[in-house]
Chain A
């Protein structure tokens, strides 16, 4: 898509967001509502302005959102999967898993190196957060044992 098209969509998106925020803020009493209303309307106005400006004289040059769509998709999907697994598997199990799986998914083919790096890294994280700081981390279903 061209920069012009992107900026138009971005402008309209923010205009919508601003209007929604302003509309939501009408429900807040007194000065608590005025301030977000002003902000919401400003955002809507600026968004529209951006959309119009791009329509008028936006650069019709392509501007790719991602350089390598495949790798971005893999990273985002595995990243989201990791966050979803943290409360289920527990922090350490899920983290160890992502540290091994993600490099492989991105095309890294040195299993021993990957495993060693992941193990070393997890050891450091464990030392700092559990050993030194004693911070409680999600334990997942292991805690029942």
Chain B
């Protein structure tokens, strides 16, 4: 009890509350600007807090992290530009909703879903942190390989109408994922002697080009000189009715579960969580064909999934001292600078601090409702009222600055531009882009894990299947591949019976 009051006292201190509130706002802004990401913002701002209380620094991390994960959905919904890589899946249904004039509703759903996913994740962190952290240790290279395979299998759900093109897109993504220095042999692949390619193709650079440039060109083609009126945006009256909320609850539960599961595994990020949540929602839907055409469930699944990844990704960092992603690594770095040693004893030695940070993750998740709703609909959506032709160069400038600041390289601008032009043409040819991205994300994970697993098993491939967790994920992967086929077959049979 004493501990609880102590935690409450420090979390609700003026500094901590100000840090959480300010950082949440900033996080939404950072997430909404393509190219800017929470890692960059946290890395830049953390040093400023070195001289302050640790909980002010951590409250800031929590706010930026949770806020930006939602912020990424804003341009994803309004302009089909994923503000962060984790918001790609949000574009699938969010942008079609905007085209239908339901931007405000989509934003509201994204806001609620983000808050709910984040809250569920923070609760998991608070209640089961150390337990879940221990569970992740059972995941070795073989298990990681199957998780990547499971993710790849969800491509079946994402390919669209032409399975052949979908497969080609996936293989293209996998191939692009091999560019750069091979971590396991030190051999540079497809780098053509260019040092900037050694680090591989930067995911964000490719994403911004692939997803943002085609809608910009489309906007230029329409050459809209007037802009939307406030009435056409329908911003005012976007209330979520109880019926709608009830319909979303199963999706929220499923996506929270998936997001937490992906989050606790070091190395698997919010983008994977969002993809898996999206494909799970589509598989479970009675009307899977409506996905990708503006189904609110798609927005809810993706946004809930990527926010549920956040707090969970802190579990291995706080409980084991193993950073699962860069944000977690930054948090550990900040703890070190404050003289705290990360590791299994952190929970016991500094319960007030760890508990306080967990509470901050929870509070900032709820703050999304306050900050996100207001900021998104009142400020960002107003941009839509500008004439389209004015938006074209502005989005171009934002893309350029966002891409440039990632690595500080001019050549990335051209990579982005080339990816964008390719994306524009490929989309016109009904070539799906999502599998390319998924291949780019999961390819390196799959290749490296399987090669590590084979090193450990001395080349014995059966060990990929004989380990219990591997076997379970392998079976689930198979089920995921067979499920749509089975359903299509069943539907055809039913269709044949009907007159």
A and B touch in the complex (CB under 8 A): yes
Interface on A for B, CB 8 Å cutoff?
3, 6-7, 10, 14, 17-18, 21, 24-25, 28-32, 35-36, 39-40, 42-43, 46-47, 49-50, 53, 63-68, 71-72, 74-76, 79-80, 82-83, 86-87, 91, 95, 98-103, 106-108, 113-114, 117-118, 121, 125, 128-129, 133-138
Q: Which residues of A contact B171 (CB under 8 A)?
A: 18, 39, 42-43, 46
* Among candidates B217, B392, B451, residue contacting A103 with C-beta atoms closer than 8 Å: B392
User: How far, in angstroms, from A136 to B401 measured CA to CA in the complex?
Assistant: 10
Indicate if B50 sits at the interface (CB-CB under 8 A). no
Indicate if B387 sits at the interface (CB-CB under 8 A). yes
Question: Shortest CB–CB separation between residue A61 and chain B, in angstroms?
Answer: 12
* Among candidates A24, A67, A91, A113, residue contacting B404 with C-beta atoms closer than 8 Å: A91
B417 touches A35 (CB 8 A): no
B29 touches A136 (CB 8 A): no
A31 touches B451 (CB 8 A): yes
Interface CB pairs A-B, < 8 A, 25:
A14-B172, A29-B185, A29-B187, A31-B451, A32-B182, A36-B189, A39-B174, A43-B172, A50-B164, A66-B221, A72-B217, A74-B220, A75-B392, A76-B421, A80-B417, A83-B413, A86-B404, A86-B413, A98-B397, A100-B393, A107-B389, A114-B390, A135-B405, A136-B408, A137-B401
Interface on B for A, CB 8 Å cutoff?
29, 33, 36, 40-41, 44, 164-165, 167-168, 171-172, 174-175, 178, 182, 184-185, 187, 189-190, 216-218, 220-221, 223, 225, 386-387, 389-390, 392-394, 396-398, 400-401, 404-405, 408, 410, 413-414, 417, 421, 425, 428-431, 447, 451, 454
Q: Which residues of A contact B454 (CB under 8 A)?
A: 31
A82 touches B396 (CB 8 A): yes
Q: Which residues of A contact B218 (CB under 8 A)?
A: 67
Residue of A nearest to B408 (CB): A136
User: How far, in angstroms, from A133 to B394 measured CA to CA in the complex?
Assistant: 19
B190 touches A24 (CB 8 A): yes
A99 touches B187 (CB 8 A): no
* Among candidates B168, B174, B184, residue contacting A31 with C-beta atoms closer than 8 Å: B184
A125 touches B189 (CB 8 A): no
Given contacts A30-B185, A50-B164, contact A106 B429 (CB under 8 A): no
Q: Which residues of B contact A83 (CB under 8 A)?
A: 400, 413-414, 417
Given contacts A10-B431, A50-B168, A95-B400, contact A32 B185 (CB under 8 A): yes
A71 touches B417 (CB 8 A): no
Residue of B nearest to A46 (CB): B168
User: How far, in angstroms, from A101 to B220 measured CA to CA in the complex?
Assistant: 13
Q: Which residues of B contact A108 (CB under 8 A)?
A: 225, 387, 389-390
User: How far, in angstroms, from A99 to B310 measured CA to CA in the complex?
Assistant: 36
* Among candidates A43, A64, A103, A125, residue contacting B397 with C-beta atoms closer than 8 Å: A125
Given contacts A65-B428, A86-B400, A133-B41, contact A35 B421 (CB under 8 A): no
Question: Shortest CB–CB separation between residue B67 and chain A, in angstroms?
Answer: 15
User: How far, in angstroms, from A123 to B454 measured CA to CA in the complex?
Assistant: 54
- Starting from the known contacts A39-B178, A102-B393, A117-B386, 14 additional A-B residue pairs (CB-CB under 8 Å) come to A25-B189, A31-B451, A32-B184, A46-B167, A49-B164, A50-B165, A65-B429, A76-B421, A95-B400, A102-B392, A103-B389, A103-B392, A103-B393, A125-B398
Given contacts A87-B410, A107-B389, contact A98 B225 (CB under 8 A): no
Residue of B nearest to A47 (CB): B168
User: How far, in angstroms, from A74 to B393 measured CA to CA in the complex?
Assistant: 12
Residue of B nearest to A82 (CB): B396
B165 touches A75 (CB 8 A): no
Given contacts A29-B185, A99-B393, contact A79 B417 (CB under 8 A): yes
* Among candidates A21, A32, A87, residue contacting B175 with C-beta atoms closer than 8 Å: A21
Q: Which residues of A contact B400 (CB under 8 A)?
A: 82-83, 86, 91, 95
Question: Shortest CB–CB separation between residue B72 and chain A, in angstroms?
Answer: 16
User: How far, in angstroms, from A117 to B225 measured CA to CA in the complex?
Assistant: 14
B417 touches A72 (CB 8 A): no
* Among candidates B36, B40, B174, B397, residue contacting A121 with C-beta atoms closer than 8 Å: B397
Given contacts A32-B184, A76-B217, contact A43 B189 (CB under 8 A): no
Q: Which residues of A contact B408 (CB under 8 A)?
A: 136
User: How far, in angstroms, from A70 to B275 measured CA to CA in the complex?
Assistant: 37
User: How far, in angstroms, from A83 to B401 measured CA to CA in the complex?
Assistant: 11
Given contacts A40-B175, A107-B223, A133-B41, contact A128 B217 (CB under 8 A): no
User: How far, in angstroms, from A117 to B392 measured CA to CA in the complex?
Assistant: 12
Question: Shortest CB–CB separation between residue B45 and chain A, in angstroms?
Answer: 9
